[in-house]
Amino acid sequence: MGPSKSTETALNDIRRDGFTVLENALTPDLSMAIRHGLDPWLQGARMGRNDFEGFESERVYALLSKVPEIAVMVEHGETLGIVDSLLAKNHLLSAALAINLHPGETSQRFHIDDGGNALPIPQPRDMLGVSTMWALDDFTAQNGATEVIPGSHRWSDDRKPQERESIAINMPAGSVLIFAGNLYHRGGANQSTQHRLGITIQYCDPNMRQLENMSLAVPPDTAASFSPKIQALLGYSVIDPGFKGYVNGRHPKNLIDPGYKGRKYRDELPPS
């Protein structure tokens, strides 16, 4: 069984409402393989470090390097067909992480994903990214399904999101929610007794990058020998709020400076 709607219908949904849902995007077998791959990383040892990550949530960053089975999501044909139509050629993978909401998690704040609020480009504007949320569990209003504000990708900057405007995306496991990077959304509150496991894969405009890919051109050992200023210029820096530029959910300086005191997990031990 394939995805539940045509690319054309999905694109119309996204252009009008800012989002669409494809059911049956992931087979139960693949879903199971991904869950198995995630198991060692979801031991309740690394809960979120702030209200945005969720103090009652686990996040597994750098997911392609830990659970390579998620490649099927990253290059899922129908999803990429939609992303190709919305973003410029050679768009980039911008984020890939698992989010496991535990019972008792509270709602996130409403936000957009494409980082455009940090750029001097007034809204309304084109989306600079496309986000997806893959449901590994059934997503319900009770267990913290992602909430979206329909049409908010077309708002101007002065309009602020209100609670009453949002809807919870109820979708069965195996579905994917695809939404404009400038759509207001948030993770809901988990008022159930079960976890809610999802994987978010996000794509961004290809121009949101340096001219030369400095992180690949200058290996970390060489970068470590330069001044903090050059390290920051190479990309060993983050933009806050948003933490854009993180590596594996941590400040990139952790890769080249073992004594770095910036943002870390509360528990640095790798899962056994």
Angle, helices 7-17 vs 77-86, to 10°: value is 50
Give the footprint of ligand AKG on residues 141-200 (CB under 6 A).
Answer: 146, 185-187, 198
Q: Which residue is nearest to ligand AKG (CB)?
A: 187
Q: How far is the CB of 246 from ligand AKG (least distance, A)?
A: 12
Judged by CB, which is closer to ligand AKG: 7, or 106?
106
Give the footprint of ligand AKG on residues 120-139 (CB under 6 A).
Answer: 133
Judged by CB, which is closer to ligand AKG: 49, or 224?
49
42: contact with ligand AKG by CB under 6 A: no
99: contact with ligand AKG by CB under 6 A: yes
Judged by CB, which is closer to ligand AKG: 109, or 264?
109
Size of the site for ligand AKG (CB under 6 A): 8
Q: How far is the CB of 162 from ligand AKG (least distance, A)?
A: 17
Q: Buried b / exposed e across 36-60, counting CB within 10 Å, b at 16+?
A: ebbeebbeeebbbeeeebbebbbbb
Judged by CB, which is closer to ligand AKG: 185, or 250?
185
Distances (CA, A) of 112 to 87, 116, 183, 272: 16, 8, 6, 34
Q: How far is the CB of 171 from ligand AKG (least distance, A)?
A: 11
Edge to edge, what strands does the sheet with 129-135 contain? 19-22, 176-180, 129-135, 196-204, 92-101, 57-60
Q: How far is the CB of 25 from ligand AKG (least distance, A)?
A: 16
Judged by CB, which is closer to ligand AKG: 131, or 231?
131
Judged by CB, which is closer to ligand AKG: 3, or 249?
249
Judged by CB, which is closer to ligand AKG: 18, or 198?
198
Q: How far is the CB of 136 from ligand AKG (least distance, A)?
A: 12
Q: Please state whether beta strands 176-180 and 129-135 pair in parallel, antiparallel, or not at all (unpaired).
A: antiparallel
Q: How far is the CB of 186 from ligand AKG (least distance, A)?
A: 6
Q: How far is the CB of 200 from ligand AKG (least distance, A)?
A: 6
CB neighbour list of residue 268: distance below 8 Å, 6 or more residues apart:
none
List of residues contacting ligand AKG (CB under 6 A)? 99, 113, 133, 146, 185-187, 198
